[in-house]
Structure 1
Amino acid sequence: MTDTSSGQAPLAFVTGATGLLGNNLVRALLEEGFRVRALVRFPEKATQQFGGLPIEVVTGDMLNVNAFASALVGVDVVFHTAAYFRDSYTGGSHLQQLHAANVLGTRALLKCTYAAGVRRLVHASSIAVLRGQRGQVVDETMLRDERDADDYFRSKILSDREVLGFLETHPDFWAAMVLPGWMHGPGDMGPTAAGQTILDVGHGKFPGVPPGSVCVVDARDVAEAMIQIYRGGRRGERYLAAGQHFTMAEFIPLVGAALGIEVPARRLPFAMLYTVAAVSEVKARLTGQPVLFSWAMARALSSENERSHFSKAKSQAELGLIFRPVEETLRDEIAWFRTHGWLPNDGCN
């Protein structure tokens, strides 16, 4: 694939490049012939994540977009995957940080992208901006009311509005959005909450099967969706890349099978989750240690239970998106954790 204006391969700028989605996107872009300029907060983490991959690393933070704005010059497309997420479910209030990174950061990125002469951006939104009735198949038109949103969900709703508002005032600018589900896959250096779930199961920290349901997707499939959106998506449109619906009672045994271990069969009621969350938050405040399971996480599991059936129709029809089996995702995710010493190689605790 080449940029017809210069004869060169297109240059992609990836924010959040060392994250689960970002690092898989960087690899997918390279495989598909793009040149890549990767925004990272910590260069040493980029070295660990990418090794000798032929990319240009830019050090910067979404809290100060102006500081790296010059690196946007000459770029053909910005893939915006950076977001404040993981810490928002670790107890306490994170409203200020969420708004600064996810909303104001996106606003600044749009302005600096445009000022640098770039006219295309693919934004990583979230299934958090959608909501349907329990058991209903949710599509891209079913937007969540802010009154039904926690702080993280609201920040994603508002960041989407930044993108759509920018399109209204800049008719020569093109942007579209991907809405990922609960992403799993290799390269989860964070780790994300998804990766931490795998690690907790692998280390025997699950006392039972939690309630709730999820929509599991491979980060590599989301990365491919973003590339296909750039190539053939429609301006201002949302595209779901949410994957497959599971109850936790269905998903945790799949994790156990992929790990080669037995997992607890006892099902935990929602009331117990709130009790565990309350105790965990109090303990964290007293000890200064991170919250292992927050009140916000318990509330999200409860409110979103059986609201994780998401439509594949639009992404399949317009992007040709195909989701790999979750067993393949778990196998590769666990293999990555084992290779990097985060899980034992023999499946034993």
Structure 2
Amino acid sequence: MILITGATGFLGSELVYQLLENGARVRAIKREGSAIPKILQGKPVEWVTADILDHFALEAAFEGVRQVYHCAGMISFKSADRKRLHQVNAEGTANVVNLCLENNIGKLVHVSSVAAIGEGKPGQAVTEKDLLEYTGLQHGYSISKYEGEMEVWRGIAEGLTAVIVNPAVIIGRAAGDKGSGRIFETARRGTSFYTGGSIGLIAVADVARVMIALMNSDISGQRFILNAGTLSIKELFTQAAAIFGNRAPSILVRPWMLKLALVNRSVVHSLTKQHLYSTEKINEALPGIVFRPVSEVVNETCIELV
């Protein structure tokens, strides 16, 4: 039996779908009130209602499980959500790690983020060796995902077999209007503005495929950056505008403008930063994996919203 947390989310539902296609027996955790995604409706999934913050509610879900994929998490860049981010992304992960240890789970694949990795040297791509160093410019999401990773490393030190994936921004048809979907919804409505930063992107199906491949490998105690390519914010909005029939953005929003708009400095830093990521490590670990071209997936994501 395979257990997936966050199974009703964008990535989690795609992962469950692929596992079922591979003939796996899947138990999926969902919070009370969460709707089952269309992609999984009518599928042979054993649903368990629980919250990752409730250790005792989670216990029953781990019975008879041999593998765990931890996809549950919270995404927010609001300062007011820092406490909640810590609870979900750090404390929730601690609960999952502890239950994996208590139940002698065979392997855990944990979904982190490139936001939990440090910044590389100027002009160089970020690698898995770049550790996050607190500078005051990181937003609460980055810190909470880093703290979640620390819980997994703690579990590994205590004997847990585990792998961490650090995907860039995950996109795809079912992105909806949350997370990365907000980017495309903004583009659909039309905008004349863009920032000077860039963004790493990867298809949701590719992330799920890599996670399954890592689970079924002998790899443990490692983390892997997953990124199919990088686009500038202007390039991304321009490509999306063409599909939606909107004008391409033409006004560069500079950092001082964002600050005048009362955007907190960690978000300003993120929106104006050049994001470059190395995928050398995952390419060496899984040489058969080929990521779909970013432009192709951007088009697909936009067309779903037309």
- TM-score norm. by structure 2 comes to 0.91
Does structure 2 conserve the Cα–Cα contact (< 8 Å) formed by 1:74 and 1:117? Answer: no
Q: Does residue 271 of the first structure (1) align with residue 259 of the second (2)?
A: no
Residues 233 and 319 of structure 1 are in contact (CA less than 8 Å); yes or no, is this contact kept in structure 2?
A: no
- CA distance in structure 2 between the partners assigned to 1:197 and 1:309 by the alignment: 19
Match of 1:71 among 56, 61, 68: 61
1:140-219, aligned counterparts within 5 Å? Answer: 140-147=128-135, 149-170=138-159, 173-189=160-176, 191-192=178-179, 194-204=180-190, 206-219=191-204
Gaps of 5+ in 1: 1-10, 279-292, 338-344
Give the structure 2 partner of residue 315 of structure 1.
282
- Partner amino acid for 1:197? I
- Closer, same or farther: CA 158–218 of 1 in aligned 2, 3 Å: same
Does 2:219 align with 1:231? no
In structure 1, what residue type is equivalent to 2:285? E
* TM-score of the superposed pair, with normalisation by structure 1: 0.81
Q: Which residue of 2 aligns with 1:331?
A: 299
Unaligned runs of 5+ in 2: none
Matching residue's letter, 1:195: G
Following the alignment from structure 2 to structure 1, what is the Cα–Cα distance between the partners of residues 38 and 31? 13
Specify the SS of the correspondent of 2:195.
coil
CA displacement, residues 240-268 of structure 1 (integer Å, 9 cap, x when unaligned): 10221121122211222333433222222
| Kept in 1: contact 2:101–2:155 (CA 8 A) | no
What residue number does 1:5 align with?
none
Q: Distance in 2 between matches of 1:296 and 1:186?
A: 29
Residue identity (%): 28
* Pairing 1:95–2:90 present: no
CA–CA distance in structure 2, aligned partners of residues 300 and 42 of structure 1? 33
State the distance in 2 between where 1:234 and 1:44 align: 33
Larger radius of gyration: 1
Runs of 4+ more than 4 Å apart: 293-296
Change (3 A) 1:60 1:295: farther
Is 1:119 aligned to 2:106, yes or no? yes
Cα RMSD (Å) of the superposition?
A: 2.0
Aligned residues: 303
Task: Return closer, same or farther for 1:58/1:262 CA change in 2, 3 Å cut-off.
Answer: same
1:43 shift after superposition: 4.9
**SS of alignment partner, residue 61 of structure 1:** coil
Query: 3-state DSSP class of the match of 1:74?
Result: coil
Query: Which amino acid in the other structure matches residue 178 of structure 1?
Result: V
Does the 8 Å contact 1:74/1:118 carry over to 2? no
Aligned partner letter, 1:272: M
